[in-house]
Amino acid sequence: MESTLQKKKSVKRLSWKKSLVIIGIAIVVILVAAAGTAYFLLQKSKPVINGTIPLTGLHATVDVYRDRDGVPHIEANSMKDLFMAQGFVTAQDRMFQMDLSRRQASGMLSEVIGEKTLTRDKFFRTLGLRRAAEASYGEYSKEMKQYLSWYADGVNAYMDQAKKNNTLPIEFLLVGYEPEKWTPVDSLVIGKYMAFDLGGHWEGQAFRYYLTETFSKEKALDLFPGYPKDAPSILEDLQTEGIDFEKSFAGSVIPNYHNGSNNWVVAGKKTKSGKPLLANDPHLSLGTPSIWYQAHLKAPDYEVSGVIFAGIPGIIVGNNKTIAWGVTNVGPDVQELYVEKRNPKNPYEFQYLANWEKADVVKERIKVKDKVDVDHEVVITRHGPVISEFAHHDKPGTALSLKWTALQPSKELEAVIMMNRSKNWNQFEKALQSFHTPAQNFVFASTDGTIAYKANGLIPIRKQEYTSLPVPGWTDQYEWEGYIPWNELPTSVNPEKGYIATANNKVTADSYPYHISDTFAQPYRQQRIVEVLEGKEKLTATDMQSLQFDQKNKQAEEMLPILMQQVMKKPLNDKEKEVISLLKKWNNVDSKKSAAPLIFHIWMSHFSDELFKEEISEEMLKMFDGREQVVDELIRKANSGDPGPWIRENGGLEKVTQHSFESMITFLSEKFGEDPSKWEWGNFHTLTFEHPLAAIKPLHLLFNPGTQSMGGSRVSVGVAGWDRETGSITHGGAWRMVIDMSDTSRAFHVVGPGQSGHVLSPWYEDQVEDWATGKYHETVLDQKKWPKDQHLVLQPKVEK
């Protein structure tokens, strides 16, 4: 009996084990089938790069050659065919990125993502980038409207074919939607978004306003970038009622205030080739795919090579046969926050002089995936949209509205196409008249030997120049009186010193008659660029490449002696002595293999936290425009014997320095072990070009390129900006370019992580290592040197 029972139990166990095995096999089969299906769909959706594709609307065949780095070289017989082909080819590589870009700028992400992006959508609907793009379209010439329309036709031709053949990028399938028809305004709204990303300092004005409301006058002013004698009257004029800053700006989208660039141009008298050299690396957010799309466009009387934002026709930065140009952000004060007094009897009226003026009210309806539509109200005063209420519905007695040059109609694409066609400085400078926003430092070089510079864009002239605070909106004392005349913008042509360089630094002398900004980047990148350019008699393209990746830390040269002097005033334990020893031996290069840069950068972060974290919320610290510059200045002043209240109330420079030194060592010991000699900057400072869908685990395993350790920092010329908490590199020159004007048929580029947005493309992440190690690829404008098996012919489709 017992034996029979045991046998039955044994049979049950075997049966259960068999069931588990069968279930396991079934799961594996399902997973394999799913993986196989996914792989099939991925393969099917890869961009076609050879053979023939018919396109409705083409006048003649267009040749598209992709070089070994995936850069498309598009040759057409007309501008119509060229821009239609550019739209088609860019969509092949970047359609999902293009769609997300227009949706983000337009406040339409929630329609496909869901309610977690609703606050972001409300912010961009309030800001009104799409309204500005729509207004701008009406200002364009008939010719430029044609270019935008032809480009859109090419994008739509790709989408129509992809939908018909079920070959849309797999991201659309994963998110669960199909892209809608592309329009000319979609291209313009992406341009407006880039103006937003480089736009100005409204969040800094709001932050400093919060300081004046929260702290004593002395303590508030200690964190201002500068405060002239005639400015305090603003503080007395700013009478507010009911604005809750943390509530008002919770969820606001703040561009990275390190957004900027390096560019420089060197005259032939200082180069080995005898012709100018030009280098440019714009610093923006890093991700997969790159914000930049490289291309070479050729049609009769039009040929240009360089980069553009995916979704826009033409080339915004690059070169043609006779000229090259690069850009950095001027960072001017082109945004103004106005404190508006609301009529207590009518929340849609605001005081101006002795009258109540009725504001415009725009009713927005935001579609939300799997939810009911959300109605959103935008209130627009004479100065601009009220942005202090996008996150809530109550109507306090005062509000903050935003005036900004980019919310006005503008025609940057007119300038871009004229720049592309220019043959000399006079033509190029004339083209810049139509480039209003964002204001950019343009450097220029030509084969005739000319080098030049212009800080170009609409920069307001104010009745009251000081711009670090919001201003009263109920008086005419703080209005704009126009813009700096175009012919009086900072300009330099063929300077005697033989070079021009900018790195978001202050670009004017104190004698310049107009206000540009109160806030500029830390000076260290510019100092290092000048140091290198002046340190060698005959420079080469290779020297320029090395300088673009240069990791010298000029901030450490200035700050470390001050900080170490304060620490040495206290008795040190063995670990602290070792840390100081590592810093003393450091060559001030942010090498990824060194412990010293890790120690220095974390120390500076902890110094800042020591001052602010207990008194200012994380939400408000995100709006602290120019935080690093302010901390540098607090240290300088305290070291000279004039400590401000933030350092004084925390015990003085000695105490703040010592406390931050100790907390830095605790942090690094917990994270990297007790032995400082084994710490490495590259173990913390790591690069992963994040894909937008990587936040949805485990999609990061599919879409994110491999992680790299890396040197450099925010203050080195080779910029690699990092997250304060994680060390992840999120910011830098996603595209770098160097060109020697002795041969404009070739230039040196690197686009991180690569050209294509398709995960199975050989050009999806092929430039990650090159980007992280300072290497380049050579783009050659010669058909003979392009692979023969990467030739796509777009031909007119014969309609039946």
pLDDT digits (tens, 9 = 90+) for 34-77: 455 566 668 888 999 999 999 999 999 999 999 999 999 999 99
Helix, strand, or coil (residue 690): coil
Q: Residue 580's pLDDT band (boundaries 50, 70, 90)?
A: very high
Q: Give the lowest-confidence range in 355-369, 505-519, 715-729.
A: 505-519
Q: How many CA atoms lie within 13 A of 718 on its CB side?
A: 22
Structure-model confidence comparison of residues 233 and 310, the more confident one: 310
Q: How far apart are CA 79 and CA 783, in angstroms?
A: 20
The closest alpha carbon to 165, from 22, 41, 281, 276, belongs to 41
All residues at 6 or more sequence positions from 343 whose CB lies less than 8 Å from its CB, including other chains: 349, 350, 351, 356
Q: In the prediction, which pLDDT does 45 show?
A: 87
The tens digit of pLDDT for each residue in 729-771 reads 999 999 999 999 999 999 999 999 999 999 999 999 999 999 9
Longest Cα–Cα distance in the chain:
108
Helix, strand, or coil (residue 596): helix
Q: In the prediction, which pLDDT does 31 show?
A: 45
- pTM recorded for the entire structure: 0.93
Q: Does residue 510 carry a pLDDT above 90?
A: no
The arithmetic mean of pLDDT across residues 324-332, rounded, is 94
Q: Does residue 16 carry a pLDDT above 70?
A: no
Q: In the prediction, which pLDDT does 1 show?
A: 47
DSSP string, 517-538: -S----THHHHHHHHHHHS-SS
Q: How far apart are CA 302 and CA 695, in angstroms?
A: 42
The closest alpha carbon to 660, from 726, 590, 567, 560, belongs to 567
Q: How far apart are CA 359 and CA 180, in angstroms?
A: 33
Q: In the prediction, which pLDDT does 6 show?
A: 60
For 577-598, letters b (16+ CB in 10 Å) and e give: ebbbebbeebebbbbbebbbbb
Cα angle value 752/755/761 (rounded, 5°)? 115
Q: In the prediction, which pLDDT does 244 show?
A: 79
Q: How far apart are CA 561 and CA 563, in angstroms?
A: 6
Average pLDDT, the chain: 92
Q: In the prediction, which pLDDT does 396 show?
A: 80
Task: Report the share of the chain in percent with pLDDT over 90.
Answer: 83
Q: In the prediction, which pLDDT does 225 show?
A: 84
Q: Give the lowest-confidence range in 29-33, 345-349, 418-422, 651-655.
A: 29-33
Residue 591 near residue 681 (C-beta atoms within 8 A)? yes
The tens digit of pLDDT for each residue in 655-686 reads 999 999 999 999 999 999 999 999 999 999 99
Q: In the prediction, which pLDDT does 644 show?
A: 95
How many Å from the N-terminal Cα to the C-terminal Cα in the chain? 84
Strands 499-502, 260-266: pairing kind? antiparallel
Q: Does residue 140 carry a pLDDT above 70?
A: yes
Q: Does residue 5 carry a pLDDT above 80?
A: no
Q: CA 493, 498, 504, 510 torsion: positive or negative?
A: negative
The arithmetic mean of pLDDT across residues 256-272, rounded, is 92
The tens digit of pLDDT for each residue in 589-646 reads 999 999 999 999 999 999 999 999 999 998 899 999 889 999 999 999 999 999 999 9
Q: In the prediction, which pLDDT does 232 show?
A: 46
Structure-model confidence comparison of residues 43 and 772, the more confident one: 772
Q: Is the peptide bond before 472 cis (omega within 30 degrees of 0)?
A: no
Residue 261 near residue 200 (C-beta atoms within 8 A)? no
Q: In the prediction, which pLDDT does 259 show?
A: 81
Q: How far apart are CA 282 and CA 444, in angstroms?
A: 15
Tokens representing 6? 């045991």
The arithmetic mean of pLDDT across residues 293-315, rounded, is 98
Q: Residue 417's pLDDT band (boundaries 50, 70, 90)?
A: very high
Phi and psi, residue 275, nearest 5°: -120, 160
Give the helix ranges, DSSP H, for 494-651: 524-534, 541-548, 554-567, 574-585, 596-612, 618-621, 627-639, 645-648
Structure-model confidence comparison of residues 232 and 454, the more confident one: 454
Q: In the prediction, which pLDDT does 253 show?
A: 87
Q: How far apart are CA 219 and CA 282, in angstroms?
A: 35
